[in-house]
């Protein structure tokens, strides 16, 4: 199983973003948190800023839309060239149609579930998505504590992916650190978003390597197939 570490730029210094992106060049993807102060009680940036990040980032973009009205806005992020675009299940009535639009543009399509959202209705739809993001904090802010109670849901998604023989990446986001990454890996995650744990380190590359090693050593026994960044 491939392990991916995606630093969240929510924890970066926004005034020096290009330099911050250079500090995480050994990571797999950069996790870009788009917040609208409506779907979540926090505000970051929109397509113009994400386009500039796309221009200067040394690694591909993993865009996480914590916004309402995703049917209107999500395709624009795919058109900017984002490698993956993840929208929240709670923000659309048509997740499959939206995922198909994102894939048609050329992005990987991700669906995110807040801690209180049941995965069950989505388990039969997994082939429509390239990634499932199981939130391990309430979306909106970095630096929160990992919610252990989300692990049964992660396990249920991992089991469904494996049973269906799919190559759907399982991402976790929130409170991921050297203390918690092994727990999420054991429950089936293969893609780990880490904000403060990476940007708070003196040498982010060393923290990225440590997180990757810990996740690999705790990986879920029955983990699904390899999966790699598309060329
Ligand atoms: O989506 C997010 C918040 O909604 C962030 O990506 C997440 O919280 C990462 O921050 P940290 O690793 O510091 O918890």
Active site residue 159: no
Model pLDDT, residue 140: 98
- What is the mean pLDDT, run by run of 10 residues, along the chain of 231 residues? 94 97 98 98 98 98 98 98 98 98 98 98 98 98 98 98 98 98 98 98 98 92 46 30
Residue 112 located in a structural domain: yes
At residue 101, φ and ψ (nearest 5 deg) are -65, -40
55 alpha carbon to ligand 1 midpoint, in Å?
23
Model pLDDT, residue 1: 65
Please count the structural domains in the chain: 1
The tokens 């807040």 sit on which residue? 114
Residue 170 located in a structural domain: yes
Active site residue 28: no
Residue 40 located in a structural domain: yes
Q: Is the CB of 8 under 6 A from ligand 1?
A: yes
**Bridge-partner residues for 8, per DSSP?**
31
Model pLDDT, residue 226: 42
Which CATH number does the domain housing residue 29 bear? 3.20.20.70
Q: Which domain holds residue 33?
A: 4-217
Residue 162 located in a structural domain: yes
CA dihedral 67, 73, 75, 80 (to 10 degrees): -90
10 alpha carbon to ligand 1 midpoint, in Å?
7
Is residue 61 classed as helix, strand or coil in its secondary structure? Answer: strand
Residue 47 located in a structural domain: yes
Residue 12 located in a structural domain: yes
Residue 226 located in a structural domain: no
CA triplet 33, 213, 3: central angle to 5 degrees? 50
Residue 229 located in a structural domain: no
DSSP states of 169-211 as a string? EEEEESS-STTTHHHHHHTT--EEEESHHHHTSSSHHHHHHHH
CA distance 168 to 218: 19
């Amino acid at each position: 199983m491939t392990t991916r570490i995606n630093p969240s730029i929510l924890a970066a210094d926004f005034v020096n973003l290009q330099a911050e992106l250079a500090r995480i060049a050994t990571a797999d993807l950069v996790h870009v948190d788009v917040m609208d102060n409506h779907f979540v009680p926090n505000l970051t940036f929109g397509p113009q800023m994400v386009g500039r990040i796309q221009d200067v980032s040394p690694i591909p973009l993993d865009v996480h839309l914590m916004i309402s009205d995703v049917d209107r806005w999500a395709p624009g992020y795919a058109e900017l060239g984002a490698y993956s675009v993840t929208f929240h299940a709670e923000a659309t009535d048509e997740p499959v149609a939206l995922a198909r639009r994102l894939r048609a543009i050329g992005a990987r399509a991700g669906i995110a579930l807040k801690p209180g959202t049941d995965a069950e209705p989505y388990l039969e739809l997994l082939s429509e998505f390239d990634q499932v993001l199981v939130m391990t904090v309430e979306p909106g802010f970095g630096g929160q504590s990992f919610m252990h109670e989300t692990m049964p849901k992660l396990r249920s998604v991992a089991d469904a992916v494996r049973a269906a023989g799919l190559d759907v990446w399982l991402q976790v986001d929130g409170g991921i650190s050297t203390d918690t990454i092994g727990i999420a890996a054991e429950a089936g995650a293969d893609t780990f978003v880490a904000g403060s744990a990476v940007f708070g380190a003196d040498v982010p590359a060393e923290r990225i390597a440590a997180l990757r090693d810990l996740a690999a050593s705790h990986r879920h026994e029955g983990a699904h197939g390899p999966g790699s960044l598309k060329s």
